[in-house]
A and B are shown apart, each in its own frame.
Chain A
Amino acid sequence: MESSIFNEWRWVSLSPFPWWALGLLGLALIAGFYWSAFSLKKQDGWRRGVLLGLRAASVLVLFLLLMEPGKRWMQVTKVKNRVIVLLDSSLSMGFSLAPGKQTRYQAAQQIIKSSESFWKELSTRFQVDFFIFDKNLQAINRNKIVETAPRGVMTDIANTFRQISSDSDSSRQKLAGIILFSDGADNKEWSKGLSAPDKEKLKEMNVPISVIALGEGRFKDLSVERIEGDDFAFVRNSMEIVATFRVVGFTKGSFPVALKREGQVVATRNLQVQKDGNIKVVFSFTPDRTGRFVYTVEAPVFENELIATNNSRSFTIHVIRDRVRVLMVVGRPSWDVRFLRGILKQDPNIDLISFFILRTANDDARVQSDGELSLIPFPVRDIFHDQLKTFDVVILQDFGWSNPTYPQMSQYVRGMKKYIEDGGALVMVGGKNSFGEGQYERTELQEALPVEPVGIPPGEESFIARLAKEGRRHPVMSMGLGEEESVRAWAQIPKMYGSHVVSAKPGAIVLLEHPFLTQGGKNVPVMAVGEYGRGRVLAIMTDSFWRLGFDSVALDSGFRLYDRFWNNAIRWLVRDPELTLVKVSVEKSILEPGEPVVARVSVHNPDYRPAPKVAIELDWVRSDGNQVVKQQTATANLEGIAQFQWTPLEPGPYRLVARAKKERRIIGLGENAFAVEAAGAELGNPWLQLDLLREIALATGGKLSDAKDISSIPLNDKETMQVGRIHDVPIWDHYAWLGVLAVALVLEWILRRRWGYA
């Protein structure tokens, strides 16, 4: 044995038996000894002493033989455990402890600097490592701490602890404790305090974390601390968001706070202040347009406030349709009406309001009074004036507009045109009262229609309509995954009977065309779509379209085509975001000050193929003032995509408006919105979070200390003994000891026999 390499030894048992077995054996031997002592209790004198002595010697030797004691030589290294000192270096540590006093960070620096003797003493027992942290951890020499400043834009204490644990696991040194200097103003995982699983994870670290809390709450400041609510809403449905204001240093009173959508006030409330603390305010409002919008909760900025930039907070809401409101006005009941109503009525996403003209002045219902009928007054003004804008889609089916019998209708024509221009959608479905006889060509509404009459009577021949070239990839006609599937489906439609003869206006897209009826060298459109202003129009020039929903059942092409067509058409008409030609997306909708915005614009042709090489203009608009602050241009790549980047200088709501142009003609528009926060999360909520810090200390067995006392913090073992090589030397496995046992037993037996004991 090279005894020189071992520096420690200890007694050990080399027995293969477990400790509990050895314990039981020991107890059995003691019991045996007592039993033999009991059998000799009537004997007196030295003979009894000799026999008990021999028995005790036998028992002892036997036990030692079973124990197999040995001497263990060890090569031992003693390692100091680590104490980690963490200093929060996020921006919030730059706030003063109290008005006119040093900052939190300066206070921490001062404590670390003035506790020289404490660190020295601690270093004799532990390895003391210093780190500064914000969202990341950075090792630092203690003497260099005075040269640092709080600059981190985020505080992530949970991540800091994770990094320490990970570092510790890969180290030979155990953690004896953590000393945390922080204001606890976490703005990541623990911004709302510790959850039960968080506390469990802290306990599992098995390291006491002691906290030196820095900061006081006696400033005057008003901040929007939190916004709670859905990030999407349904248009024309009331919704609520809850804003939590933190009020510190204000006297009792009230002042107005507002919710704005891109600069326009949509709701106001009064903030009633009683004392310092958090106040929740509920804002109710009803979004009236679809799209993504930036909303901002704003409170006034008061004199002497600690931070002015945290008095507002922005967020985005994606306003979508819950149900599409469809107004269906019908000139007279027909099978075309019946099947369209059936399909719209059964669609859970459609809220259908219908008005059918069931009787005209020429009809005689043969009744004594109208009380015998279920007919209701036709609410012309209600429909075409008061309520028109509440509808997403208006369907005029076989409904003539310009008619001397009800001349008051003509006064609403302009309103209908304006409705489309402002983003409404119109479907005009054939029948005698549409198009030609409907006299729309004499009204302003004709301007909005994608087709115009050519002054010849309807074609009366039956025909099977043909999918037009432009319709093959149009989403209204889509019947499957690809163009081929749509072409196949539309090739199987049943026969139709007659069609208005019209011509497509420039810009209109013909989706279905007559197979043999031509006008001006082109096949007459049977179905066409167009855009007018911000609205869309679908024109169907036949009233036998219902046959797609009924005849096709007999043809085994099923109801699916008719159902799917109307579903597609309604989605296209209401500009379902999935069907827009130009899409603008942003990586993040709420940005920190100084953060760059990356916008991606994708463009499709009207037939929904990617539009390569088109020119894209992107306006960066301050949506609260509707002012273009930056314009960029780019050319789309082969996939019809272009990427833009800019860093807005000013905080506030922004809107991105993209225009795709082909040969100087706008082929599509797309929009999106984002906001740049006035204050980042770090400065938005810089308050001392004493509860969080206390919970961290309690969960880990640490201590929450104030700045005056950091000496009595709890720490684990001061050092860890690490054993290198081991050598065991057995000392009881010699035959001599068996001999001793045998001699003791034989001698006892002989003496017993001689002295006449049993």
Chain B
Amino acid sequence: MKTMKGNMSKPASRGYGGVSRSRRQFLLRLLAGVGVGTLENQALAFGDSSKFTPAIAQHGGNWNARPNGLRRLCWEVSSRTSVEVFPQARAINLSDQALFHYPFLYFGGEGEFPAFSDREVANLRRWLTWGGFLLADANDGSVGDGFDACFRREVARILPQSPLSRLPQDHVIFKSFYLLDRQGGRLLVRPFLEHAKVGQRAAIVYSQNDLAGAWSRDLQGEWEFEVSPGGENQRETALRTGVNLVLYALCLDYKEDAVHLPFIMKRRR
């Protein structure tokens, strides 16, 4: 029996369209510098609808503090995994019904932000309940104030029955692609992630370590922020954490299936 690594590849480009063309389009879009600040509601081509397409929550505070972070994560996901990515993340208001086009929502920010309106709370609750995944990221590394205080306040309104709690180290997020025993970020103010559940699913995952800060790379290819205290290893861990979060959003608890357990247990030893 051969492993996927050695024997599986994306189908080669033949006939009409294909992966290579898609990859080319992706790179062209990246080079075009399409970022969250210039997002437009472009028409989707065949296959784009089901690709991983992140959305960015447009709240009342500094919601776009890491404009290049998510784009870089998309690139990493595309190059490291079989997941195809539509890199045009769309900034979206939390009360917008279009939120339901995007099952993955990045919620970042620096500093405080005003309370959500009741409509926003209701829309977000409905979105989370029916399958949405929200990655929250304190870009300011705040603890107990700033973004952290505001986000905790709003989560308590959105999911009052499911408070944020520490994500256990054996959660499937830590094995959805990479086997991780830690999580990175630009900072390490908290050595753990937190989550809020809807049923058995982690619907919200929250990092206080500014994951997107570690992911951010400018168009010249330079990392935008120093990572401390762990340096580049910590950045790589942050990228792997991001990849795992995307794979979790797309595959749910696939890696909890019984068929995977013997392999994972063996490698964990």
Contacts and interface: CB of A to CB of B under 8 A. Distances in A.
Interface in A426-461: 431-433, 436-438, 456-460
Contacts of A404: 12
Contacts of B17: 432, 437, 457-458
B12 A547 contact: no
A355 B252 CA distance: 13
A380 B1 contact: yes
Interface in A325-380: 331-339, 341-342, 345, 353-367, 370-380
A339 B82 CA distance: 18
Interface string B229-250: 0000000100000000001011
7 contacts: A333-B52, A345-B252, A364-B79, A370-B3, A400-B11, A405-B9, A498-B44
Contacts of A456: 16
B254 interface: yes
A181 interface: no
Interface in A307-337: 331-337
Contacts of B3: 370, 375, 377-378
Given A333-B83, A372-B179, 18 more contacts: A332-B83, A334-B50, A334-B83, A353-B257, A356-B251, A359-B8, A359-B80, A359-B81, A360-B4, A370-B5, A374-B175, A374-B255, A380-B2, A432-B19, A458-B16, A500-B46, A543-B47, A550-B132
Nearest to B14: A437
Nearest to A367: B178
A456 B46 CA distance: 13
Contact of A457 (B16, B43, B251, B252): B16
B130 A550 contact: yes
Contacts of A35: none
A90 interface: no
Interface string B45-58: 11111111000000
A551 interface: yes
A358 B236 contact: no
B43 A462 contact: yes
B143 interface: no
A559 to B, nearest CB: 6
B100 interface: yes
Contacts of A364: 79-80
B16 A436 contact: yes
B223 to A, nearest CB: 15
B153 interface: no
A345 B254 CA distance: 10
A433 B179 contact: no
B140 interface: no
Contact of B254 (A354, A367, A431, A547): A354
Contacts of B253: 345
A373 B8 CA distance: 16
A544 interface: yes
B244 to A, nearest CB: 9
Contacts of B163: none
B178 A373 contact: yes
Nearest to B264: A374
Interface string B1-28: 1111111111110111111001000000
B161 interface: no
B100 A462 contact: no
A334 B131 contact: no
Given A332-B82, A353-B257, A553-B130, A375 B252 contact: no
A509 to B, nearest CB: 24
Interface string B256-267: 010110011001
Q: Report the contact-size class of chain A (Cβ under 8 Å from the partner).
A: 35 or more
A357 B4 contact: yes
Contact of A333 (B236, B251, B264): B251
Nearest to A366: B80
Contact of A358 (B9, B50, B81, B179): B81
B99 A359 contact: no
A497 B14 contact: no
B84 interface: yes
A554 B176 CA distance: 29
A251 interface: no
A359 to B, nearest CB: 6
Contact of B79 (A361, A363, A375, A458): A363
Contacts of A360: 4, 8-10, 82
A345 B249 CA distance: 15
Given A379-B1, A432-B18, A497-B44, A341 B7 contact: no
Given A336-B50, A358-B177, A497-B46, A377 B130 contact: no
B8 A374 contact: no
Interface in B107-153: 126-127, 130-132
Contacts of B98: 554
B169 interface: no
B11 A433 contact: yes
Contact of B51 (A334, A339, A367): A334
Interface string B97-108: 111110100000
A498 B11 contact: no
Contacts of B80: 359, 363-366
Given A356-B251, A431-B47, A457-B17, A335 B103 contact: yes
A334, A342, A353, A500 interface centre (most CB from chain B within 10 Å) = A334
A374 B176 contact: yes
A685 interface: no
A546 interface: yes
A432 B48 CA distance: 10
B143 to A, nearest CB: 30
Given A334-B250, A460-B46, A551-B101, A403 B82 contact: no
B179 A353 contact: no
Contact of A332 (B15, B84, B126, B254): B84
Contacts of B7: 361, 378, 405-406, 408
A405 B12 contact: yes
A407 to B, nearest CB: 9
Contact of A374 (B126, B236, B267): B267
A337 B46 contact: no
A397 to B, nearest CB: 10
A499 interface: yes
A338 B252 contact: yes
Nearest to B4: A378
Contacts of B43: 460, 462
Contacts of A475: none
A458 B46 contact: yes
A654 B83 CA distance: 54
**Which residue of B11, B43, B263 has the most chain A CB atoms within 10 A of its CB atom?**
B11
A677 to B, nearest CB: 45
Contacts of A354: 254, 257
Nearest to B10: A360
B131 A339 contact: yes
A378 B45 contact: no
B126 A358 contact: no
Contacts of A457: 16-17
Interface in A184-235: none
A381 interface: yes
A497 B81 contact: no
A333 B250 contact: yes
Contacts of A398: 50
A547 B48 CA distance: 13
A30 B11 CA distance: 122
A496 B43 CA distance: 11
A549 interface: yes
A361 B14 contact: no
